[in-house]
């Protein structure tokens, strides 16, 4: 990865160092209604006036071309230039949209991510994937745009609702599964009451390190990076189904169920340890709401077929032979997939 990721309890200090040499009037801040509170004093950005701050609506609904256009208009009217820097302070919604908007504006202005949700800290803000939802489909329009830097300060998670904490936890479980069995046990046993505490920062760093390893080897997802799609083939379909029905399902809830489906297929097709599958399944059942969408197997299957990562008819999954041993592009038959969805419903 190109951008530097800093894990800290002093976000202002870390951001200050990244902004060294940048005139204060070149700094623009994008946040949403909930993350804005962290984007002033905690970031040492008291000097940035209201005119150079934009607050977008919170939630997936705001991750749209319309919001991106609002950002472009705001930057344009205020005379932002190539040397300007957009600080995206928020969850994956803000970092994904802000990164995309920065990449397009004047063919690219600098951007720095300050993730304020657990999901964004362990996943969305690193790796360079940016974009917006379009035509009822998640992340349908977007690009790879590496941030110049990422500041991860988990003290900002102090007021994050539990549901959002669990959303990020699902990606941590995924990263652990891509790493080692030991790491999986550690994440399943993590003390979520301490998510904003100093002790949890190490777990976040460990999770990002797993992602970074795959991204470094294959930044544009030509192949190996697809291992990170573990749980996302079914997960994206579950999320898109919810989006189309106007239901609120978090990314992590969808991924948690997607992981269950992928591990079930891994047991059947790649000899993954059935006991560990059972352990993760039990964890998902105990921790996340039931997956309503699983009842509509055919609709989910149609959404998976639409997935941009498929190169031939049918659906390719990332499966695991064992923790830390992913296999990408595992072709799965419709019948197997429908069975897996029944299993998680």
Ligand X SMILES: NC(=O)c1ccc[n+]([C@@H]2O[C@H](COP(=O)([O-])OP(=O)(O)OC[C@H]3O[C@@H](n4cnc5c(N)ncnc54)[C@H](O)[C@@H]3O)[C@@H](O)[C@H]2O)c1
> By the criterion CB under 6 A, which residues form the site for ligand X?
32, 34-35, 38, 58-60, 63, 90-94, 96, 116-117, 119-120, 123-124, 127, 129, 138-139, 156-157, 159-160, 164, 167, 250-251
> What three-state secondary structure class fits 329?
strand
* 112 versus 276: smaller Cβ distance to ligand X: 112
> What three-state secondary structure class fits 96?
helix
CB atoms within 10 A of CB 219: 15
* 237 versus 276: smaller Cβ distance to ligand X: 237
**Cβ 207 to ligand X, closest distance in Å?**
12
**Cβ 119 to ligand X, closest distance in Å?**
4
**Cβ 303 to ligand X, closest distance in Å?**
14
* 96 versus 258: smaller Cβ distance to ligand X: 96
What are residue 145's phi and psi, to 5 degrees?
-145, 100
Contact (CB, 8 A) for 258 and 320:
no
**Cβ 110 to ligand X, closest distance in Å?**
18
* 251 versus 277: smaller Cβ distance to ligand X: 251
**Cβ 182 to ligand X, closest distance in Å?**
24
Contact (CB, 8 A) for 249 and 163:
no
> What three-state secondary structure class fits 178?
coil
C-alpha–C-alpha distance, residues 84 and 28, integer Å: 7
CA proximity to 184, closest of 67, 323, 87, 42: 323
Strand order in the sheet with 53-56: 4-7, 149-152, 110-115, 85-90, 27-32, 53-56
* 33 versus 282: smaller Cβ distance to ligand X: 33
**Cβ 81 to ligand X, closest distance in Å?**
26
**Cβ 149 to ligand X, closest distance in Å?**
16
Contact (CB, 8 A) for 24 and 54:
no
Helix-, strand-, coil-residue percentages of the chain, each rounded to 5: 55, 15, 30
Which position's Cβ is nearest ligand X? Answer: 92
C-alpha–C-alpha distance, residues 18 and 32, integer Å: 22
* 147 versus 297: smaller Cβ distance to ligand X: 147
The CA distances from residue 239 to 10, 19, 202, 207, 247, in Å, are: 34, 36, 29, 23, 9
**Cβ 91 to ligand X, closest distance in Å?**
2
Contact (CB, 8 A) for 269 and 259:
no
* 172 versus 341: smaller Cβ distance to ligand X: 172
* 168 versus 297: smaller Cβ distance to ligand X: 168
């Amino acid at each position: 990865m190109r951008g530097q990721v800093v894990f800290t309890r002093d976000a202002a200090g870390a951001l200050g160092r990244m902004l060294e040499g940048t005139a204060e009037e070149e700094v623009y801040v994008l946040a949403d209604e909930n993350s804005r509170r962290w984007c002033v004093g905690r970031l040492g950005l008291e000097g940035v006036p209201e005119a150079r701050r934009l607050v977008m609506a919170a939630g997936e609904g705001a991750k749209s071309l319309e919001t991106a256009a609002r950002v472009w208009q705001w930057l344009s009217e205020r005379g932002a230039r190539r040397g300007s820097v957009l600080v995206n302070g928020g969850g994956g919604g803000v970092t994904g949209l802000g990164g995309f908007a920065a990449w397009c504006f004047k063919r690219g202005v600098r951007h720095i991510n300050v993730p304020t949700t657990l999901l964004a800290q362990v996943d969305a803000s690193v790796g360079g994937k940016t974009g917006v939802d379009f035509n009822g489909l998640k992340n349908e329009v977007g690009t790879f745009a590496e941030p110049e830097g990422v500041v991860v300060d988990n003290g900002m998670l102090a007021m994050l609702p539990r549901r959002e904490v669990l959303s990020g936890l699902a990606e941590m479980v995924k990263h652990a599964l891509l790493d080692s069995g030991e790491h999986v046990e550690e994440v399943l046993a993590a003390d979520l009451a301490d998510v904003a505490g100093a002790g949890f920062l190490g777990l976040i760093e460990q999770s990002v390190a797993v992602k970074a390893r795959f991204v470094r080897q294959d930044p544009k997802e030509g192949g190996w990076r697809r291992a990170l799609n573990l749980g996302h083939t079914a997960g994206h379909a579950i999320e898109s189904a919810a989006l189309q029905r106007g239901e609120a399902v978090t990314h992590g809830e969808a991924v948690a169920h997607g992981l269950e489906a992928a591990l079930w297929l891994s047991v059947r097709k790649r000899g993954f340890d059935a006991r560990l599958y059972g352990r993760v399944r039990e964890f998902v059942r105990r921790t996340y709401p039931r997956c309503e969408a699983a009842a509509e197997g055919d609709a989910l299957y149609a959404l998976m077929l639409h997935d941009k990562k498929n190169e031939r008819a049918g659906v390719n999954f990332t499966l695991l032979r064992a923790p830390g041993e992913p296999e990408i592009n595992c072709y799965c038959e419709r019948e197997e997939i429908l069975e897996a969805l029944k299993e998680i419903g």
